[in-house]
Amino acid sequence: MELSEEDLALIQVLQAWPRLGWSDAAKVLDVHATTLAARWERLTSSGAAWVTAHLAGDPKQMLLAFVAVDCEMHRRDSVTAELAAVPEIVTVEEAASNRDLMLTVITRSLEEFSEKIISRLKTVEGLTKYQVALCTRLHSSGDDWRLNVLSRSQLATLRTLASPAGPESAQATQLPESHLDLLPFLARDGRATAADIARSLGRHPATVQRQLNRVLASGILSFRCEIAQRYSSFPVTCQWFVNVPAGQHEAAAAEIRTISNVRLSASTTGPTNFVIIMWLHTLADVMSAELALQQKVPGIEIVESAVMLRTVKRVGWMLKQDTTASGAVVHAGSLGAAD
For every residue of 219-231, DSSP letters joined together read S-EEEEEEE-GGG
Whole-number Å distance between alpha carbons of 31 and 22: 10
The mean pLDDT value for 317-336 works out to 82
Structure confidence by residue, pLDDT tens digits, 1-16: 789 999 999 999 999 9
Domain topology for 168-218 = Arc Repressor Mutant, subunit A (1.10.10)
Per domain, the residue ranges of the chain are 168-218
* Predicted TM-score (pTM) of this structure: 0.91
Burial class (CB in 10 A: 0-12, 13-18, 19+), 284: exposed
DSSP H helices in the chain: 5-16, 22-29, 33-45, 76-84, 110-112, 119-121, 152-160, 177-180, 183-188, 194-201, 205-218, 249-256, 285-296
Structure confidence by residue, pLDDT tens digits, 34-54: 999 999 999 999 999 999 998
190 closest CA partner among 67, 42, 336, 40: 40
Kindly state the percentage of the chain with pLDDT values over 90: 86
Rounded to the nearest 5 percent, the helix, strand and coil shares of the chain are 35, 30, 35
Phi, psi for 85 (deg, rounded to 5): -80, -10
